[in-house]
A = this chain, B = another copy of it.
Amino acid sequence: MKTKTHALDYYRRMLAEQDHAMKRLDEHARIILFARSQEIPVNPEPANRWYYVISGAVRRSAIRSDGRRQILDLMLPTDFFLVFNRHDDSTVEAIAEDTALASYSGQRAEQLAQRDTGFARELREVAFQDLSRIRDQLLIIGGVTADEKVGSFLLALASRLPGGTDQVVLPVTRYDIAEYLAVSVETVCRSFTSLQQRGAITLAGKRTVNIINRELLEERNDHDGYTATRRQQFCQPLAQTES
């Protein structure tokens, strides 16, 4: 109960400082605490439901046909997300203990959006944030080397987490990282040690990463071939047709 009060205080402070999109719905918001691995419910209402991550972390995942799990999205503090209740075979669950979420009624949000143009715009912005997040993930997953994927993941995490961006406290396990990046857990571990040996990061404990060299993180470990210089061959200027 103390934790819940703390989370709510944090939320109120955030509301006072930042002018976040759902502020107009604050009076109707509900603060809910979730345990680790607890699924975020969809049922309580016929309409969709908006959530705002106050603390902790949430993942959206799906099970592939071969049984492997793929994490489709990772929601961190200050992130909004939406949970559908139809034709969506993905599950949403908390991955940190005592994850605090602010929950908003989708119906009420839509009603307010109907009356308030500015709020409707903010609502759309929030939906676009979802798209932006998953596009970033797609770019990260599309990396060739595992070191590249893990490095990009760490950089993306550092830019999303609050505080100084040179130290990242991982809110997820190695398994979560593996399922997020679509690689094996062992490969994630090896990438961590590899990045550490190359001087890109240092590990203070299992979950605390200090970023030393950002360029090494976003570069490929191009120690022989394996990287194309086949680039730029598609980047012709696309001669404009003049009428």
* CB pair A65 B218 closer than 8 Å: yes
Q: How far is the CA of A144 from the CA of B66 in the complex (A)?
A: 10
The 10 closest A-B pairs by CB, nearest first: A67-B231, A142-B182, A70-B142, A72-B135, A37-B238, A134-B134, A65-B218, A127-B127, A70-B139, A141-B141
Question: Does B127 contact A138, Cβ atoms closer than 8 Å?
Answer: no
Report the interface size class on chain A. Answer: 35 or more
Q: A172 contacts the other chain (Cβ, under 8 Å)?
A: no
Q: In the bound complex, do residue A64 and residue B138 qualify as a contact, i.e. CB atoms below 8 Å apart?
A: no
Nearest Cβ in chain B — how far from A61, in angstroms?
A: 9
Contact B241 A35 (CB under 8 A): yes
Quick check: is A79 within 8 A (CB to CB) of the other chain? no
Q: State whether B72 touches A138 (Cβ < 8 A).
A: yes
Question: Chain B residues with Cβ under 8 A from A15's Cβ?
Answer: none
Please determine whether B139 and A62 come into contact, CB atoms closer than 8 angstroms.
yes
Chain B CB within 10 Å, residue with most, of A63, A138, A228: A138
A15 to B72, CA, bound (A): 34
Known A-B contacts A228-B68, A232-B67, A238-B39; the reply to A141 vs B138 at CB < 8 A is yes
Chain B residues closer than 8 Å to A238, beta-carbon distance: 37-39, 93
In the complex, identify which listed stretch (A1-9, A97-105, A109-117, A194-202) lies at the interface while the others stay far away.
A109-117
Give Cα A150–Cα B72 distance, bound, in whole angstroms. 20
Inter-chain contacts of A14 with B (CB < 8 A) = none
User: A189 at the A/B interface (Cβ < 8 Å)?
Assistant: no
